[in-house]
Amino acid sequence: MSPYALYIEYNSSGACIAHAPELPGCIVMGRTPADAVAKAPGAIREYFAWLRRHGEQARAPKQIAVRVADVRKDGPFKRGDRAALFAPDIQPLARAEMQALLRRAAYSRADLLALVRGLPDDVLDWKREQDSMSVREKLRHVGNAEEWYVSRIVNPKTLPPEWQGDEKLPVF
């Protein structure tokens, strides 16, 4: 099997996120790009295990190799940072690929909500630093990211009308 391509975004401190677009949603965070690349095979194995936990027939290869396909500075690590757009991000998808992506997004959403559903308001709204995001704000950010992606792949007239004022909707 050929190596999985990694697309890396990093910021001025060196912290980075490595994406493996062939495995949508499989990312690795690291203190440096080299750290993220070193962690990638383990993250890829875990990605396949996650798919199996959700009932998909997915087997990780015995040997996992990675290669760095592209690197962009100033990755999205703080609110308002721009996100890198890599070549795989602009390739058209076949219907089956889109269905798989939406199914996996549903797994991810369910897993995330299961982790935070019972948290009290003071935990959901706590901030490590004044300009950091609370858990509730991060959940809204994830939900808005899903909305943003969906709004790019369907006719805007078909979007739910409540998305016009979604910041007023409950996170759960």
| Segment holding 124, helix H or strand E | helix 121-124
What is the crossing angle of helices 95-116 and 135-153, to 10°? 170
The CA-based angle 16-18-21, given to 5 degrees, is 155
- pLDDT tens by residue, 51-61: 999 999 998 88
Q: What are phi and psi of 169, to 5 degrees?
A: -75, 150
What is the model's pLDDT at position 38? 97
Q: Which residues contact 62 (CB under 8 A, 6 or more apart)?
A: none
How far, in Å, CA of 99 to CA of 90, rounded?
A: 17
pTM of the model: 0.80
Write the pLDDT tens digit of every residue in 131-145: 888 999 888 888 777
- At residue 131, the 3 state secondary structure works out as coil
